[in-house]
Amino acid sequence: MELTIGQRRIAFALVVFALAGLGVYLFTSAGRSSAGPPSGQAGAGGRRPARQAQPGPASTPPETTPASPPPATAPASSAAPSGPAPDIYQWLPFSKSGLAAGASVAVRFGDAYGTFSYTQSTAAYVATLHDLVTNTLSQQIAAAYSTPGVASLRKSRKQVSVGSAAITSLRAFGANSLTFVVSVTEHITATRGAGPDTTSYAITVQGGGSSWQVNDIELAGAGNN
């Protein structure tokens, strides 16, 4: 039986209403099944959801004890030469006692050379050197001591000197000679220009053994080697 136009309209309205209700039901059911449990309540298995870790203070690494430095290795000790030290004088043209005797003459000469007085004559001055110098050198020293300019200055200033000598080095040696560098200090008292006056000389002694004499004296910077 065919429906009338009114009946068709009513049937269509009922179908649309039924479809609308089904859509609402389906949407509501799907929303409930996808939603999780409320915040703060237990989830599946009765466990609460894990809280997000909050950043705490940085942990301080444990102190570490610095490794002890390796023990220092003691330097290997040099092996001491075995046997007695060599006698160097066996290679020299003089003995140890001969060198000491020559050095003693050089020092005694330096002491006497730097000792003088304005009241002292040339002969008296040279006499203090007589046993220490050769005749040739004695004459040269006498000439220098009595030089007019030197003698007049010594007297005008009333110079009195006490000499002291010290060997600073052995400059040269030969078969029968030794040349020392000697520092001679004249400790002068005078009316003017007083005070110590130090000069370095090259003093050569000749001879051998325990018998030496000075045969040359020059300024150390001038040579005499």
CB-CB contact of 185 with 163 (8 Å): yes
- Rg over alpha carbons for the chain, rounded to the nearest Å, is 60
Residue 18 has pLDDT above 80, yes or no: no
Closest CA to 185 of 113, 119, 106: 113
83 to 86, 87, 90: CA distances (angstroms): 9, 12, 17
Contacts of 53 (CB under 8 A, 6+ apart): none
CB-CB contact of 170 with 179 (8 Å): yes
pLDDT given at position 52: 40
HSE of 93 in the Cβ direction (CA atoms, 13 Å)?
11
Residue 179 has pLDDT above 70, yes or no: yes
CB-CB contact of 51 with 40 (8 Å): no
What stretch of H or E contains 103?
helix 96-113
pLDDT given at position 134: 98
Burial classification of residue 131, based on how many CB atoms lie within 10 Å of its CB (0-12 exposed, 13-18 middle, 19 or more buried): exposed
CATH node for 94-222: 3.10.450.230
Residue with the bigger pLDDT between 203 and 90: it is 203
pLDDT in tens, 20-78: 554 545 445 544 444 444 444 333 333 333 334 344 444 444 455 555 555 555 555 55
Q: Domains of the chain: which residue ranges?
A: 94-222
User: ∠ at Cα 20 (15, 22), nearest 5°?
Assistant: 95
38 to 83, 99, 174: CA distances (angstroms): 103, 117, 119
Lowest mean pLDDT among 3-7, 17-21, 130-134, 157-161: 17-21
Structure tokens given for 97? 């006692």
CA distance 131 to 176: 18
Mean pLDDT for 150-175 is 97
Distance from chain centroid for Cα 183: 31
CA distance 88 to 95: 9
